[in-house]
């Protein structure tokens, strides 16, 4: 079974530039999550999709971050414009459906450095 795919794996940009991350979840998984993990901390949920609808985006900085999941499969997360404090690993995860009974499968992450 193919895992969660993410690209790019690494990205370096200057502050005020824009960046986009892509995620392809495990086939058949209805729920998709985007997390931000700053060095030394646990993953922080940014947004959760159930199919192509948003379940929770309460921790997404909506003035600069946006995410979409068209057709309920792939998803993109965009930052525009980036700030220095956005330097982190961005993790995508998927699960069969929403709910705490279902384990999440994580992708390898995208390491973003903002200079």
Residues that bind other proteins (CB under 8 A): 33, 40-45, 48, 55-56, 58, 91, 93, 98-101, 103-109
Q: Shortest gap between Cβ of 106 and other proteins (angstroms)?
A: 4
Distances (CA, A) of 46 to 1, 2, 53, 85: 26, 24, 14, 15
Residue 104, Cβ neighbours under 10 Å: how many? 18
Give the residue with the Cβ less far from other proteins, 27 or 100.
100
Q: Shortest gap between Cβ of 70 and other proteins (angstroms)?
A: 23
Q: Shortest gap between Cβ of 72 and other proteins (angstroms)?
A: 18
Give the residue with the Cβ less far from other proteins, 27 or 101.
101
Tokens of 82: 């980036």
- Tell me how far apart the alpha carbons of residues 20 and 79 are, in angstroms, rounded to a whole number: 6
């Amino acid at each position: 079974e193919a895992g969660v795919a993410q690209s790019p794996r690494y990205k370096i940009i200057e502050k005020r530039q824009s960046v986009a991350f892509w995620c392809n979840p495990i086939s058949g998984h209805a729920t998709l999550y985007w997390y931000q993990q700053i060095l030394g901390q646990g993953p922080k949920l940014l947004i959760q999709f159930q199919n192509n609808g948003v379940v929770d985006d309460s921790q997404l900085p909506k003035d600069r971050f946006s995410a979409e999941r068209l057709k309920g499969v792939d998803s993109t997360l965009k930052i525009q414009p980036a700030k220095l404090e956005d330097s982190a690993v961005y993790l995508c995860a998927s699960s069969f459906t929403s709910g705490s009974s279902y384990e999440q499968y994580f992708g390898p992450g995208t390491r973003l450095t903002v200079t």
